[in-house]
Amino acid sequence: MYIKQNKLLLATNNSGKLREMSVLLSDLGLEITNPLAQGIHLEVEESGQTFRENAILKAEAFSSLSGLTSLSDDSGLEVDVLDGEPGVMSARYAGPNASDQDKVDYLLDKLRGVPFDRRNARFRCVMALCSPGRGVVIFEGVCEGIISEEPKGPGGFGYDPIFYIPALGANMAELSIESKNSISHRGVASMKVKEYLASIV
């Protein structure tokens, strides 16, 4: 893997992911950039059946267009009692233009009447790192939790307000960004990315 121009492009248009990933990777010694800063306007169709497939699609597309080493993230929520839903459909589970609140409300409605001890879930993140002409390296992170019966906390985004972490006694949206990054699926995957990049930069 070769880091062109000592620059790493975060291959996403999601503002929440950009914010978290920028913080997580800030001490790498690389210039962290994003599509908007590079004048890139690209929406990649997430046609894969798995997080891995979608992460690769996005990393390759942004890397090819920008000529830069690109890091993508495909992640979502898996609820056991729903047979792993919403999974790769997490962002579109409540419809293509649903807000974060819409997604939370829709999932809670699907789980109405399900007891707390059967609401086990996990956030899963797959990151793909791609340099032009040099293939893709994959990293994965998982965070286990339980879907709470009501939203709590002002922070985070997506399903964070209803993702309860027993070890911390709090929902993910109640955590500081530092606490969240230390245990989240994206934080775990990013740590693996940092270890890999530190070994080659």
Residue 145's CATH number? 3.90.950.10
Number of domains in the chain: 1
pLDDT tens-place values along the chain, 201 residues long? 556 667 899 998 888 888 888 888 888 888 889 899 889 988 888 889 999 999 999 999 999 999 999 999 999 999 999 999 999 999 899 998 899 999 999 999 999 999 999 999 999 999 999 998 788 999 999 999 999 999 999 988 899 999 999 999 999 999 998 899 899 999 999 999 999 988 876
Please, are residues 33 and 50 in contact by the beta-carbon 8 Å criterion? no
Burial of 2 (0-12, 13-18, 19+ CB in 10 A): exposed
DSSP 172: G
Regarding pTM above 0.85, the answer is yes
Count of Cβ atoms closer than 10 Å to residue 179 Cβ: 16
Helix ranges (DSSP H) in the chain: 15-24, 51-66, 100-110, 177-183, 185-200
Amino acid letter, 48: G
Catalytic residue among 27, 73, 74, 160: 74
- Is 74 part of the annotated catalytic residue set? yes
**Across-strand partners of 62?**
none
| Residues of the domain holding 177 | 4-200
